[in-house]
Amino acid sequence: MPTNDSLMYMLDKPVEAKPVKEIIEMSPAVLEGITDAKAAKLKEALGVSTIAELATNRFVLWAQALVTIAKVEREPAPAGKTVDV
């Protein structure tokens, strides 16, 4: 069962009390705001059928990596200038 009350805002009511290990093997449609139709589109577009597959999908991971890198990316130094590290 969820160990954090905030999980109830992430999940549809019928699955809120289930163990998280069970929830991640369910369709993304149990996530709040994702309908069965949207889950079907995720399967078609990304080939994911479960929350675990969605979370570990290479495109999702690449997108997360890009966002993380963008947060710390620096502008390149102008030609001939050095940057103190």
pLDDT band at 4 (very low <50, low <70, confident <90, very high): low
If one compares 24 and 6, the residue with the highest pLDDT of the two is 24
The pLDDT tens digits of the residues spanning 18-76 come to: 899 999 999 999 999 999 999 999 999 999 999 999 999 999 999 999 999 999 988 87
pLDDT band at 14 (very low <50, low <70, confident <90, very high): confident
pLDDT value at residue 2: 46
Give the C-alpha separation, 27 to 18, whole Å: 14
Element (H, E) at 54: helix 51-55
pLDDT value at residue 3: 55
Q: Give, rounded to a whole angstrom, the gap between the first and last alpha carbons of the chain.
A: 47
